[in-house]
Amino acid sequence: MRLQDKVAVITGAASGMGKAIANVYAKEGAKVVVSDINAEAANQTVDVIKSAGGEAIAVVANVAKEEDIQNLIDTAVNSYGTLDILVNNAGIMDNFEAAADIQDESWEKIFAINTTSVMRATRKALPIFLEKQKGVIINIASAGGLQGARAGATYTASKHAVVGFTKNTGFMYAQKGIRCNAIAPGAVETNIGTSMTNINEFGIGRTQPGLAINPRTGKPEDIANIALFLASDEADFVNGTVITADAGWTAY
C-alpha cells in the first residue's frame, strides 16, 4: 500500500494509461479523483475501482478550460481534504502534419490540451503542495517530446514543451518538498489514435521509417507501474527528469 491515504488527481483517467494509473493507485491505497471529458467512461472507471475495494470519485473536466481545472482541484480538496499527487495525463494527437500544413485551430487545440492544461493544473496544485511542503506532479509526455519525428510538428512541439516545463518545475520547487517528473511513453495500446481524423500523407511518410524499428508496443499498465513508482516515496530522489518507457525504441 505505497500510496495509503494519498489523494491523487488523474486527468484523462477514463481510458488508456490514465485508467491504468487510476486503478493501480487505488490498489495501492490512494483516494483517486478520476477526471475525464467523458462522464460515462469516468464513472465506469470509478465503478471498477470501487468494486475492487478502492475509493474514487469522477469529475468531468475539459482540461482545455481553466474553469474546469479549477473545479477539478477544488472538488478533490473538498471531497478528500487535500491533494498529494497530480497526474497530468490527458492528451491528444495531431495528424502527423509537418510545419507547412499546420492550421492555427489545430495548433491551439493541441497545445491547450497537451501543454497549457499541464501548466494550469500544476499552477492550481502548487499552493496546496507548498502549504504542506510536500507533493508529487507526474506529467505524461511522450517519446515525441524527446525526439523529432514520432508524430507531427504540433504534437512534437507540445510534448517538448511539457518536458521543459517538467524540468523547470522540478528544479524550482525541489527545496519545497515537491517533485515533478515526466514519463515519455513510446507506442502504447490506447485510444489516443481516435483523436486523429485525417492523417497527413507527407508527414506520416516521413515518420514511417522510424515507426518500423519500434521493438514493440506497450500496455497501459507498463506506464502505470512507472507512475506508481514516481508517486511513491521510493522515488524520493527522482526529480525534474523524464523516464523514457518505449522498449528501447529511442535507443536506436
Structure confidence at residue 193 as a pLDDT band (50, 70, 90): confident
Q: How confident is the prediction for the chain on average, in pLDDT? A: 96
Active site residues: 155
Q: Residue 46 is part of a domain; what is its CATH number?
A: 3.40.50.720
Task: Give the pLDDT mean for 1-24.
Answer: 98
Q: Is residue 131 part of a domain?
A: yes
Q: Is residue 157 part of a domain?
A: yes
Q: How many domains does the chain have?
A: 1
pLDDT tens string 161-185 = 999 999 999 999 999 999 999 999 9
pLDDT at residue 114 is higher than 80:
yes
Torsion sign, CA atoms 43, 6, 246, 182: positive
Q: Is residue 2 part of a domain?
A: no
Task: Give the pLDDT mean for 91-117.
Answer: 97
Q: Is residue 1 part of a domain?
A: no
CA distance 133 to 123: 15
Q: Is residue 108 part of a domain?
A: yes
pLDDT tens string 225-249 = 999 999 999 999 999 999 999 999 9
Q: Domain of 121?
A: 7-245
Q: Is residue 98 part of a domain?
A: yes
User: Nearest to residue 224, comparing CAs of 205, 200, 243?
Assistant: 243
Q: Is residue 251 part of a domain?
A: no
Instruction: Give the long-range contacts of residues 226-229, CB within 8 A, separation 24 or more.
Output: 226/183, 227/17, 227/21, 227/24, 227/25, 227/87, 227/138, 227/183, 228/2, 228/3, 228/21, 228/24, 228/25, 228/28
Q: Is residue 46 part of a domain?
A: yes
Structure confidence at residue 99 as a pLDDT band (50, 70, 90): very high
